[in-house]
């Protein structure tokens, strides 16, 4: 038998996703490119969206459920003058085209009203679950969907440019927000506030948690030159608070034993003297217990 190809080293690949493929499609491509089935993603992007998608390789897939991806940043284009049933360009027009009468100061005022801690109704075709079933699936099944408003934080909703495109007014905007915020719902609500209707025509995620486009490569670039964006140690150090251990404590962690509490809120990474990432841990009273052991005893 020919020798088996060794698996790739564990770590994160930060993908600059193209418009069109689903996040699952990207994972399928990365499995072939990286030569392993152990690939997963965090922070799903819609097919029409581009930008930062965090992908875990090998043991780094264990990190994905613990990554703090609670803040995100986007650039986007909002088209005023027409609402759609999906709040983006993929949907069907709803109602008539309404020319935009608002000037730039009024647009900025309407955007300011959608900034801060707000109550937002997610898009009807969102992944929000209603009685255990995704909203978008209920819409596909012909159901009328009523999603309750929920609190989100929009820390920035900035106007970058106003462009007139025939009968349309396009706004280039930048958004920084909490996880669970729908930028297309911002487009919908901005259009409604201006009396014209609105929907999203372009969306690019520039940051999710600590990961930015500076870390990212396209799938095509990865196909030409496969490799990690961050190895396992760098991924843990980037995404979590860091605690460095001595030899004895490192050995305890490798065997899944607890340690004295570090006094850190939430999950943190612990490292061996040689810099290897050993585990994610969390304090429980006076002790720290492993959440994920990344480098078990051999």
**Catalytic (active-site) positions:** 46
What is d(CA 260, CA 265) in angstroms, rounded to the nearest whole number?
A: 14
Q: Measuring CA to CA, which residue among 43, 82, 54, 182 is closest to residue 125? A: 182
Contact 272, 243 (CB under 8 A): no
Q: Measuring CA to CA, which residue among 126, 201, 139 is closest to residue 169? A: 201
Residue where the block lists tokens 């490569």: 217
What is d(CA 88, CA 195) in angstroms, rounded to the nearest whole number?
A: 17
What is d(CA 174, CA 205) in angstroms, rounded to the nearest whole number?
A: 10
The DSSP 8-state label assigned to residue 217 in this structure reads: B
What is d(CA 198, CA 79) in angstroms, rounded to the nearest whole number?
A: 5
Contact 45, 205 (CB under 8 A): yes
DSSP per-residue letters across 173-189: EEEEEETT--HHHHHHH
What is d(CA 62, CA 71) in angstroms, rounded to the nearest whole number?
A: 20
H-only helix segments in 100-254: 104-113, 135-140, 183-193, 219-224, 232-239, 247-254
Q: Measuring CA to CA, which residue among 107, 195, 121 is closest to residue 157? A: 107
């Amino acid at each position: 038998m020919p020798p088996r190809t060794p698996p790739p080293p564990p770590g994160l690949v930060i993908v600059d996703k193209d418009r069109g493929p689903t996040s699952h499609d990207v994972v399928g491509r990365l499995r072939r490119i990286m030569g392993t089935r152990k690939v997963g993603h965090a922070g799903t992007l819609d097919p029409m969206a581009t930008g930062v998608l965090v992908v875990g390789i090998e043991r780094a897939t264990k990190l994905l459920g613990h990554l703090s991806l609670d803040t995100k940043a986007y650039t986007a284009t909002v088209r005023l003058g027409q609402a759609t049933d999906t709040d983006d360009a993929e949907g069907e027009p709803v109602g008539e085209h309404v020319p935009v009468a608002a000037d730039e100061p009024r647009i900025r005022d309407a955007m300011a009203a959608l900034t801060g801690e707000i109550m937002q109704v997610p898009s009807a075709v969102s992944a929000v679950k209603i009685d255990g079933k995704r909203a978008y699936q209920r819409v596909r099944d012909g159901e009328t969907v009523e999603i309750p408003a929920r609190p989100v934080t929009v820390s920035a909703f900035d106007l970058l440019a106003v462009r007139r495109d025939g009968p349309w007014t396009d706004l280039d905007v930048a958004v920084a927000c909490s996880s669970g915020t729908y930028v297309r719902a911002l487009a919908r609500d901005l259009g409604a506030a201006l009396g014209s209707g609105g929907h999203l025509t372009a969306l690019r995620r520039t940051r999710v948690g600590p990961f930015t486009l500076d870390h990212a490569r396209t799938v095509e670039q990865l196909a030409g030159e496969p490799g990690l964006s961050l190895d396992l140690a760098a991924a843990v150090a980037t995404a979590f608070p860091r605690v460095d251990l001595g030899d004895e404590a490192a050995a305890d962690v490798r065997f899944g034993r607890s340690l004295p509490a570090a006094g850190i809120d939430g999950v943190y990474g612990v490292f061996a003297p040689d810099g290897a990432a050993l585990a994610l841990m969390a304090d429980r009273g006076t002790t720290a217990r492993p959440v994920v052991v990344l480098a078990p005893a051999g």
